[in-house]
Amino acid sequence: MILKETKLVVSDNSGAKKVKCIKIFGGSVKKYATLGDLILVSIRKKKKLKKLKKVNQKKVLKKKIYFAFIITTKKKKKRKTGHSINFQQNKVILANNDDKLIGTRIIGPICLELRKKNKFKIVAMAKASI
């Protein structure tokens, strides 16, 4: 469950490290976001990159607003088989205004429930899915 003002970790190679949730899309009544939802975030912390990789530093800028997809949450997710799954961190992937992903790789595992929400681009980019 992601609420407004929640701090999240970025799990791609876009150059951002930590972000903060500003808005949750999906209607005026929706108060929290779950796996696969689209949210609006502001970048709070960037990764320190080496001097040789100055090109990647311009992908995202600090204190700018971007869209993001939620890929893992701390809240337990119950599956139809009876098992439940949860992660240690709330992680997101940054996207442009056209819902195109900014990063080219996803770091770490993602949840398989994204496949049910038709996020096949994210599932294809990930190395591992749980």
Contacts of residue 39, defined as CB under 8 A and 6 or more positions apart, other chains included, come to 2, 21, 22, 23, 24, 25, 33, 67, 68, 69, 70, 92
User: Residue 124 corresponds to which tokens in the numbers above?
Assistant: 């294809």
CATH class label, 7-125: mainly beta
**Domain spans, the chain:** 7-125
User: Residue 101 corresponds to which tokens in the numbers above?
Assistant: 């992903």
pLDDT in tens, the chain (130 residues): 899 999 999 999 888 999 999 999 988 888 999 988 999 999 999 987 766 555 555 678 889 999 999 999 999 989 889 999 889 999 999 999 888 889 888 888 888 888 878 778 888 888 777 7
